[in-house]
């Protein structure tokens, strides 16, 4: 009887461990931006959008980060040149990504984030990722879409780098044009070219210095008069 009871207890423990290990882990969403991070975008509108959406440029700046929520100062420039700013509140746990402008960081293919504003709320799954050149820097870019929008994000930070949204009477194409989130190179200047310029400058400077020293030595001579050594310039 004791043996049977011990075996039964062991079976229960093993089954419990299997059940726990087979339960998918739920990880808190990760914020990949910090206070002071900013991104700027060009906006190309076609069709007849509502006046509130008829913009040509936008900028986002993170004001602070508190857990998985953070406010962003979003500024837009309307087609008539008027600037308008407002504070947008992001909260990843609550599913507020403000139209997928910033999503949790480090989401790979098949990972998802929660969007409370979709019908009944739903998870948006990352569909693909690739290495791309973004503002002269190599970044891992992820992609997802739904019936209204297509978006690409910088994987490490979760900020969107481009998007295309199609509505009934108008469309919007948005592309990142500047940011301080990652280091970018000057257009057309890679590390090899930069090293070449520095090495060339050093070589030129060394050659000029050597020529000057040699000329100075040639311009002077030692004349011996009796026991005195006199240095004269020619």
pLDDT at residue 19, rounded to an integer: 36
Tokens of 15: 């089954």
> Tens of pLDDT along the chain (234 residues)?
444 444 434 443 333 343 333 333 346 899 999 999 999 999 999 999 999 999 999 999 999 999 999 999 999 999 999 999 999 999 999 999 999 999 999 999 999 999 998 766 789 999 999 999 999 999 999 999 998 899 999 999 999 999 999 999 999 999 999 999 998 654 444 444 444 543 454 444 444 444 444 444 444 443 434 433 333 333
SS3 state of residue 15: helix
Q: What's the CA dihedral at 173, 178, 184, 189 to 10 degrees?
A: 80
Rg of the Cα trace of the chain? 32
CB proximity list for 119: less than 8 A, separation 6 or greater = none
Cβ pair 157, 32 in contact under 8 A: yes
Distance, in Å, from the CA atom of 68 to the CA atom of 190, rounded to the nearest integer, reads 36
pLDDT at residue 185, rounded to an integer: 53
DSSP 8-state symbol, 141: E
Number of Cβ within 10 Å of residue 71's Cβ equals 16
The residues that bridge with 176 in the sheet, in sequence order, are: 41
Distance, in Å, from the CA atom of 168 to the CA atom of 47, rounded to the nearest integer, reads 9
Number of Cβ within 10 Å of residue 62's Cβ equals 21
pLDDT at residue 28, rounded to an integer: 80
pLDDT at residue 192, rounded to an integer: 44
The residues that bridge with 84 in the sheet, in sequence order, are: 76
Number of Cβ within 10 Å of residue 10's Cβ equals 10
pLDDT at residue 20, rounded to an integer: 37
Distance, in Å, from the CA atom of 205 to the CA atom of 116, rounded to the nearest integer, reads 62
The pTM score is 0.69
Torsion region of 110: left, alpha or beta (phi above 0 gives left; psi -120 to 50 gives alpha): left
Distance, in Å, from the CA atom of 12 to the CA atom of 6, rounded to the nearest integer, reads 10
Residue with tokens 């001579």: 221
pLDDT at residue 27, rounded to an integer: 65
Torsion region of 218: left, alpha or beta (phi above 0 gives left; psi -120 to 50 gives alpha): alpha
Tokens of 158: 């979760």
H helices within 132-188, ranges in order? Answer: none
Q: What are phi and psi of 121, to 5 degrees?
A: 75, 135
């Amino acid at each position: 009887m004791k043996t049977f009871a011990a075996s039964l207890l062991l079976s229960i423990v093993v089954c419990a461990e299997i059940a726990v290990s087979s339960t998918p882990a739920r990880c808190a969403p990760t914020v990949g931006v910090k206070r002071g991070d900013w991104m700027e975008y060009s906006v190309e509108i076609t069709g007849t959008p509502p006046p509130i959406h008829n913009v040509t440029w936008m900028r986002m700046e993170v004001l602070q980060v508190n857990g998985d929520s953070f406010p962003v100062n979003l500024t837009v420039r309307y087609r008539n040149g008027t600037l308008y700013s407002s504070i947008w509140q992001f909260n990843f746990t609550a599913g507020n990504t403000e139209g997928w402008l910033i999503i949790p960081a480090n989401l790979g293919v098949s990972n998802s984030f929660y969007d409370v504003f979709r019908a009944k709320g739903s998870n948006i799954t990352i569909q693909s990722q690739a290495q791309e050149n973004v503002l002269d820097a190599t970044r891992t870019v992820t992609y997802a879409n739904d019936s209204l929008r297509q978006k690409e994000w910088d994987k490490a930070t979760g900020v969107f780098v481009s998007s295309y949204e199609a509505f009934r009477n108008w469309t919007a194409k948005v592309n990142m044009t500047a940011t301080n989130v990652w280091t970018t190179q000057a257009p057309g200047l890679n590390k090899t070219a930069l090293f070449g310029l520095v090495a060339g400058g050093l070589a030129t400077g060394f050659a000029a210095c050597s020529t000057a020293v040699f000329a100075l030595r040639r311009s002077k001579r030692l004349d011996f008069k009796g026991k005195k050594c006199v240095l004269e310039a020619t």
